[in-house]
Structure 1
């Protein structure tokens, strides 16, 4: 069995004159990321490996999850290829994971995460909102062999407020 958890970054701020990778989270993004992380951690185990896009908004969202799960920031790996908006780099990254890893969590971006949720999950999502989380389970022992899995969980922050 393989488990994939995707969490889209929290709502980002356009208030600052910075490049796209440097955009920080808005207060709502901070709050929603905390709310979703807390809800997820109530009934779910922490994944073996955690990866994040290098974008500030994704990495800040990841740090919120790590803090709530009492994990160290050293336990996240920043992967340049996760700064991806169409999903092909993320899928390539997944298919090249070591099979000794059974569960991963990735912090990243849309449209990639909505697309991947629909490609691999069995529950259609029109749009994964900011701070949204999807958990998909695959009945395989190989990341290279992942195909259609079972969408086990979808957390939408608006539904928790």
Structure 2
């Protein structure tokens, strides 16, 4: 079995006069990213590999989460996930190493909401710092997206629903 966490970046700031790609996290984002990481870790959802969009806000989201996951073997910053679609997420996942049992893929809407819907057939709002937890019985990432393979949405973690 393999597990995939699709996470939307934490809340970003619109105050700075910078390009969208370079927008940093705001105060709420700085608070929520480590809270989600702590919850994932507590539940045993510790990624082996992390792939995040190369945008500033996704990079910062991962950096604030990293201390909760000291066993991560690989972190990849991907420009293809900046305006990533479900197909881009699938490409990233299919290229994960066979040693990866749990992945964390951090990116942006609308691609993340579309991917969660395609994988679960459920309409899930992926607001900032939400993390959708999926399992699949496939042994290899390359097989996980075959027509005969099904992803199960286990839970969606939302910062506003966590204990403070």
Q: 1:70 offset after TM fit, Å?
A: 4.1
SS at match of 2:116: helix
Q: What is the aligned partner in structure 2 of residue 140 from structure 1?
A: 138
Q: 1:102 offset after TM fit, Å?
A: 2.3
Q: What is the aligned partner in structure 1 of residue 102 from structure 2?
A: 103
Q: 1:132 offset after TM fit, Å?
A: 0.3
Q: What is the aligned partner in structure 2 of residue 19 from structure 1?
A: 19
Q: What whole-Å deviation, never above 9, does each CA across 1:68-110 have from its counterpart, x for those lacking one?
A: 33468x9421112121243221222222333342221111111
Distance 1:28 1:71, change over 3 A: farther
Q: What whole-Å deviation, never above 9, does each CA across 1:99-137 have from its counterpart, x for those lacking one?
A: 342221111111111111121136x23311100001100
Q: How many aligned residue pairs are there? A: 159
Q: 1:36 offset after TM fit, Å?
A: 1.4
* Structure 2 gap ranges (5+): none
Q: What whole-Å deviation, never above 9, does each CA across 1:1-38 have from its counterpart, x for those lacking one?
A: 11111111011101111111100000011111122111
Distance 1:70 1:140, change over 3 A: closer
SS at match of 2:42: helix
Q: What is the aligned partner in structure 2 of residue 88 from structure 1?
A: 87
Structure 1 residue runs of 4 or more that deviate by more than 6 Å after TM superposition: none
Distance 1:76 1:24, change over 3 A: same
5 Å-filtered alignment, 1:114-125, equals 114-121=113-120, 124-125=122-123
